[in-house]
Amino acid sequence: MAAAVITAWSSPEGSGTVVAARSLRVVEQRESQLMLLVAAGWLAGVVATGLAALAASRNRFVLTTRFTTRALRLFRDADAHFEVVQMPALDADEIRDAVASAPGLAEDVEYAARAIHGLTDGHAGYARALIEAWQTLEGRESADPVAALATLLEPDAPFARRIGWSYELRLHRARGYGALKGILGILADDEPLTLTEIALRLQRTPGSTKDYLSWLEDVDLVSVRQKRYSFTDPLVRLWVGVHCRPAPPNDDEVSSAVQQYALARLPTGEPAPALALAGSIAADDDRKSWGIIEID
């Protein structure tokens, strides 16, 4: 699913609203070539010329991209005919409607909707995949959203492969592949972290670490809030923790990682359902408790 939609039109009235478009061309930027042109500064003039041609055209265009940060930067000073629309996450009510339309999925639709929303962060594609996986478990004793998520993240599952593909695609659109994977591995183990904490664990200087983090932000893998860095997508973080290791995970390891993820994501007061294949869960004294940390 595209993270941002950019619309461009040329209206004789100059109203900035398309009432009856003569043609609509959908451009799916699978390889995000437009964003790559921007990354190479010496091609910036070519991009500006292309955008001017789109704005002057009598045709109407819809461009989609998965690289929200780059799109916002590209169109920040663009012609007023361009409008960037970020695709919002689904809210609990929208997910509740989807759950209610899936016959026999859950007796408690309200709980199911909150659980799916918590596990997927409202991502439409993730929510749909989780509902479908839950339906395939219907009739089993372990049929619940946590068990369904565990099946999605098994090594050969199509869902896990799609997340892995997106992860590699974004890394290859950035610079410093090896160091970036190292940072993501650090954040998969522990987040949020400050620049200093990441630099110490990466054993790089704060200056070079800051560059790496900015490149990860540029491809929407990492976000920063109050000078603390974390994964933009929590399910990508879970995938990295499960699959970016020397040996493929077994069923118990996948189930244990998903169970711990669910404990932190499910609504307060609603325990994560037990998994049939769940491994041992960390004891309370082994869990990370955050206090005051250094702010760079």
- How far is Cα 184 from Cα 53, in angstroms, rounded to an integer? 39
Tens of pLDDT, residues 229-241: 999 999 999 999 9
Q: For residue 102, how many other CB atoms are within 10 A of its CB?
A: 15
pLDDT at 33: 52
Q: What is the mean pLDDT of the chain?
A: 78
- Give φ, ψ of 138 to 5 degrees: -55, 130
What's the CATH number of domain 160-239, 3.30.470.10, 3.30.200.20, 1.10.3080.10, 1.10.10.10?
A: 1.10.10.10
- How far is Cα 252 from Cα 258, in angstroms, rounded to an integer? 10
| pLDDT over 70 (residue 11) | no
pLDDT at 83: 83
- The domain segmentation of the chain, as residue ranges, is 4-86, 92-155+249-286, 160-239
pLDDT at 280: 39
Distances (CA, A) of 28 to 6, 67, 86, 253: 11, 12, 15, 37
DSSP 218-262: HTTSEEEETTEEEESSHHHHHHHHHHSSSS---HHHHHHHHHHHH
| pLDDT over 50 (residue 288) | no
Q: How many CA atoms lie within 13 A of 137 on its CB side?
A: 23
pLDDT at 268: 63
Tens of pLDDT, residues 201-246: 999 999 999 999 999 999 999 999 999 999 999 999 999 999 998 8
Answer with the residue of higher pLDDT: 268 or 14.
268
Residue of 19, 25, 8, 5 whose CA lies nearest to 80:
8
| pLDDT over 80 (residue 25) | no
